[in-house]
Amino acid sequence: MKVFRISPKSLVKLDDITLCLGYFDALHLGHISLINKSKNLGRKVGVLTMDPNPSSFFNSNVKEINSLEDKIEILETLGVDYFIILETNKDVLNMSPESFVKEIIIPLGVKNVVSGFDYHFGKNKSGDTNFLSYYDEFDTYVCDEVDDENEKVSTTLIKRLLNEGNITRINKLLTRPYQIKGKVIKGNSIGHTIGFPTANIELDSNKIYPKNGVYAGYLICEGKKYLSMINLGIHPTIKKLDKEIVEAHVINESIDLYDKEVTLVFIDYIREERKFDNLEDLVNQLKCDKKIIKSYDKF
């Protein structure tokens, strides 16, 4: 997959592509159906997104599910040919729908555009799929709503499920396990003293994560996968932290992970994080958690 960063003054000309329109944060079932529809049209497929998130110009507290690097990796696995990243600035946000089509979409060499039924673009989101259909330079295809359990599959839904810790449903809607990536950093080493050493990863303040608690999952490092007990939280029993961290205890393995890049794969939610009366109670609970997580080794 080729990645292009563009602006209205610096475009790229591609030949006869099908262009998927949207922001594509969660890259969930709805986005995947849109990409699959595009692939079925018989041309090379491009995905157009904007960076930074347009919503961040109006709300400084906007958090995302996937970083740009995450999106690149996921889109490549989905068979996308081109990932086109439009630089977001005030000029772009103030473009009329007509200007957006004539100055951005058409110059890309688009023959088909594919979007969700609720796609809007241009200043004040005044452009929609009906607006796109008036142009003769390309054909417009619209994907219907994708539902799950009588709910529209959307980034908003994924964020709600993250807040609920509903990892099993999230994985279903993403069609892949939810993951966190990062470099292992030094922790307080208390885990070693109680028999549960952990690999600690600092969280990105710009991203949204699952609710605090204990999860069954895997740690992947240098191509090897290890069954792990993953915890998101602030260590309320040992030493309350100022901000959340994610840490993983690799089950039945002793490996040096410090300063290495790892991926944490979430399989299921086990329990909420809570404060125990003493370390003995915490250790006993961790032993119970570990026993439960061992049953997930079939995944």
pLDDT in tens, 242-291: 788 899 999 988 888 989 999 999 999 999 999 999 889 999 999 999 99
Q: State the sign of the Cα–Cα–Cα–Cα dihedral 162, 166, 167, 173.
A: negative
pLDDT band at 299 (very low <50, low <70, confident <90, very high): low
Instruction: Give yes or no for residue 229 having a pLDDT over 60.
Output: yes
Instruction: Give yes or no for residue 163 having a pLDDT over 70.
Output: yes
Nearest to 95 by CA among 54, 137, 155: 54
The per-residue pLDDT for range 56-105, each reduced to its tens digit, is 888 878 899 999 999 999 999 999 999 999 999 999 999 999 999 999 99
The per-residue pLDDT for range 169-210, each reduced to its tens digit, is 999 999 999 999 999 988 766 777 788 899 999 889 899 999
The pLDDT of residue 298 is 63
The per-residue pLDDT for range 7-28, each reduced to its tens digit, is 999 999 999 999 999 999 999 9
To the question of pTM greater than 0.75 for the whole model, the response is yes
Distance, CA of 283 to CA of 178 (rounded, Å): 27
Alpha helices in 176-265 (DSSP H): 190-193
Distance, CA of 110 to CA of 160 (rounded, Å): 35
Nearest to 89 by CA among 124, 61, 50: 50
Under 8 Å between Cβ of 80 and 27: no
Nearest to 43 by CA among 139, 143, 136: 139
The pLDDT of residue 193 is 76
The pLDDT of residue 74 is 97
Q: In 247-277, which positions are buried (b, 16+ CB within 10 angstroms) versus exposed (e)?
A: bbbbbeeeeebeeeebbbbbbbbbeebeeee
Distance, CA of 12 to CA of 286 (rounded, Å): 54
The pLDDT of residue 189 is 66
List Cβ neighbours of 274 (8 Å cut-off, separation of 6 or more).
Answer: 236
- Mean pLDDT, rounded, of the chain: 93
More confident residue, 191 or 160: 160
